Amino acid sequence: MFAAAVATLCDLYAVHQLENWTSTYASFADADSHDPPVGVQLAVAGSADDALFGSFRDALIADPALLAEYNALKLTLDGAEYERYTDAKHRFIQGILARGGA
């Protein structure tokens, strides 16, 4: 089922960050979207990747102030080098997960 979902998303979006793909995780980007850019992450339900993304998603849903903080971080990094952008987001996400997510 995961492979079929990946194939479908490959028809709709560009493959993104192939170096991060696992047997339970894949990411895509919409090359035509610009404001805001659109990224799609696919994780197998119940996998470690799902646990990571799900915990962070749930934390953002549960705390509007946290969501606003995350969005503000991304806005301040708009136009930054890709590595700087992803490193800052990674640190933010890891901080939330270290606190136990939501």
Cα(56)–Cα(50) distance, rounded to whole angstroms?
10
67 and 32: one domain?
no
Helix (H) or strand (E) holding 75: helix 64-76
Number of domains in the chain: 2
Give the number of other Cβ atoms within 10 Å of residue 38's Cβ. 13
pTM over 0.85: no
For the segment 16-60, what is each residue's pLDDT rounded down to a tens digit? Answer: 989 989 999 999 999 787 777 788 999 999 999 898 888 899 999
Residues 16, 59, single domain; the answer is no
Domain hosting residue 31, numbered range: 1-44
| Bridge partners, 43 (sequence order) | 25
Torsion sign over Cα 65, 62, 56, 38: negative
What is the separation, in whole angstroms, between the first and last Cα of the chain?
A: 29
